[in-house]
Amino acid sequence: MITLTNVTKYYGTRMAVNGVSLEVKNGEIFGLVGPDGAGKTTIIRMLAGLLAPTSGTLTVLGAANPEKIKEHLGYVPQKFSLYGDLTVMENIRVFGALYGQSAEKIDVVASHILGFTNLMPFKDRLADNLSGGMKQKLALAAGLMHQPQLFFLDEPTTGVDPVSRREFWQMLFKLNKEGTSIFVSTPYMDEAEFCTRVAFLHNGQIVSCDSPEGLRQAYPYKVLELGTKDRDIKEHLKKCSILDINMFGDKYHLVVEDVTLATTQIQSVLGEMNIENITLEEIQPTLEDVFVALAREVF
Ligand SMILES: Nc1ncnc2c1ncn2[C@@H]1O[C@H](COP(=O)(O)OP(=O)(O)OP(=O)(O)O)[C@@H](O)[C@H]1O
């Protein structure tokens, strides 16, 4: 469905994408995950036919130039422009018309898509008056008006609240189940869990690419989760056999090689300091743990 072979992209002298090769299969929800500036937008724009690689080759739905098959591609850019002074339905109709569909077809597809995205009750609301999450849903709806086979979404949930993010992903699952392949970029590690496969991008390079389960299995360490109200924990645990300490919500994830040794050391240190009411248990590494470790190796 998508292949990239040794694709590099420069903007002037700045290298944004550095020798990326990957393959995405029909039916996937493929996630491109990485921090700001990693090169996610550049890759998506090349795949959507809006930018040409500086070197390397790519194919999308078998075409070497995605521009030629754009009627089969959907693309929701990071900053999607809706018409703020038009209603939800009017926006949808405009995007349908842009793709050259007849008025009758637009009405049929619009009803389906507004139902699908739960936007029907808001069809007469001005786009400017929608919440951030609803604006993103409208962007998705607009991008679906020509019923693409392959859908590119560039950070569709950035700046959207956690509940709306979940709803948005439910929609992507539904869309995928109906047969649309999805290529989505996100800076949120928790969203990587929702993808069939994930490529972690760092400084324009793919550092790792696998299923969430595969990425977790390749993780070479163990993770202990420590719950404590103490906020100087890094300082206290300096002498323990811990490779890295990262905060996750109100807990700490301690990266260790030997769970038994580290547990004994941590309990002893915290006991000596009279730090009480702690919880300490080994947990499955999250993808965030995996990516933090990968990023550390790269830095
Ligand atoms: N038009 C441009 N001219 C020059 N440099 C650019 C241009 N667009 C992007 N870059 C640079 O290329 C690199 C990759 O940018 P890109 O937008 O693809 O990353 P990203 O992962 O999508 O990040 P973000 O979420 O911040 O957009 C960055 O260093 C960025 O500053």
Q: What is the pLDDT of residues 145-202, one digit of tens each?
A: 888 999 999 998 888 888 888 888 998 999 999 999 999 999 888 899 999 999 999 9
Helices (H), the chain: 40-47, 88-98, 103-116, 132-143, 162-177, 189-192, 212-218, 233-236, 259-272, 287-298
List, run by run, the mean pLDDT of 10-residue segments along the chain (299 residues).
97 97 96 93 96 97 91 89 92 86 86 88 94 88 90 90 87 92 92 94 94 93 92 85 90 94 93 87 93 74
Instruction: Please indicate whether residue 14, judged by its CB atom, sits closer than 6 Å to ligand 1.
Output: yes
pLDDT digits (tens, 9 = 90+) for 202-220: 999 999 999 999 999 999 9
Q: Helix %, strand %, coil % for the chain, to 5?
A: 40, 30, 30
Q: Is the CB of 79 under 6 A from ligand 1?
A: no
**Torsion sign over Cα 235, 239, 244, 247:** negative
Tell me, using a 6 A CB cutoff, whether residue 42 lines ligand 1.
yes
ipTM of the prediction: 0.96
Tell me how far the alpha carbon of residue 33 lies from the centroid of ligand 1, in angstroms.
Answer: 14
Q: In testing the pocket of ligand 1, which one of 9, 11, 44, 45 has its CB within 8 Å of the most ligand atoms?
A: 11
